[in-house]
Amino acid sequence: MTNLYKGYQYATTKRAYTKYGTNITDNINLMEAFSQALGFRPYSIKEKQDLMRVEKMNLGETSQIKKRFNNRIKNAYRIYIEGMQEKNINKQAEAYQEFMDILSRIYLHNKKYEGDMAMHIFVDNSMLTRLWKEAIYDMYPEERLKSKMGERSAPKTLKTLQYIKDMGLQP
């Protein structure tokens, strides 16, 4: 029954998620959905789940390298956002060039450890989206409050924080 349900979900949403809600893929065709309904796990899902498992298994070994790459990507996103605000095309191009440099360095890192999948750093859309949101939240703390608390209660909280700062107290 679970295979039929998963196959139905794949066919209607065209997406696959882990049991924790992590998006595995958003490009499932009907043939893959049908094979899941019959009880066979589609190859595209199996491949991505295996990559996620290897990444999770070796998180400790590559965590420092990942942190550095993630920080560099966030900084490039910040520069890009600033360039968009200032309508400065040169700043946007500089950020894009930095982003491409980071991706090429990740490629070189993965090539260096070609035989050892455990040391690879995987870049996917969900990771880049998360880093984009973090860059926005770093630049605009009120956006973080809005996303966490909802649109209505965030302005009250911002006023309270401003009042505390005006009183000379740090939150």
Would you put residue 123 in left (φ > 0), alpha (ψ -120 to 50) or beta?
A: beta
DSSP code of residue 25: E
Looking at residue 171, its pLDDT comes to 42
159 within domain boundaries: no
Asked whether the predicted pLDDT for residue 146 surpasses 50, the reply is yes
Q: What mean pLDDT do residues 68-94 have?
A: 89
Tell whether 44 and 65 lie within a shared domain.
Answer: no
- Pair 42, 67 in one domain: no
Where does a domain end: 54, 81, 97? Answer: 54
156-171 pLDDT tens trace:
555 555 655 565 554 4
Amino acid at residue number 49: Q
Classify residue 168: in a domain, yes or no: no
Say how many domains are in the chain.
2
79 and 134: one domain? yes
Dist CA 133 CA 77 (whole Å)? 9
CA distance 158 to 164: 10
Is residue 51 within 8 Å of 122, Cβ to Cβ?
Answer: yes
Nearest by Cα to 7 from 26, 27, 25, 29:
29
Highest mean pLDDT among 9-13, 14-18, 89-93: 89-93
pLDDT at 86: 87
pLDDT over threshold 90, residue 97: yes
Is the pTM higher than 0.75? no
Is the domain of 10 the same as that of 40?
Answer: yes
DSSP alpha helix (H) spans, 58-124: 59-86, 89-112
Res. 98 pLDDT band, cuts 50 70 90: very high
Is 131 within the bounds of a domain? yes
| Contact in structure between 69 and 121 (CB atoms under 8 Å) | yes
Residue 134 and residue 72 share a domain? yes
Beta bridge partners of 16: 25
Q: Does any domain span residue 21?
A: yes
Mean pLDDT value across residues 106-127: 76
Residues 85 and 46 reside in one and the same domain: no
- Is residue 155 assigned to a domain? no
39 and 18 inside one domain: yes
Tell me: do 90 and 133 sit in the same domain: yes
Q: Is residue 146 part of a domain?
A: no
> Looking at the structure, do residues 37 and 65 belong to the same domain, yes or no?
no
- Specify the higher pLDDT residue, 73 or 158: 73
User: Is 34 within a domain?
Assistant: yes
Burial class (CB in 10 A: 0-12, 13-18, 19+), 122: middle
- 92 and 114 in a single domain? The answer is yes
Give the confidence band of 66 by pLDDT, cuts at 50, 70, 90.
confident
C-alpha to C-alpha distance for 78 and 84, rounded to whole angstroms = 10
Residues of the domain holding 81: 59-139
Q: Are 28 and 44 in contact (CB under 8 A)?
A: yes
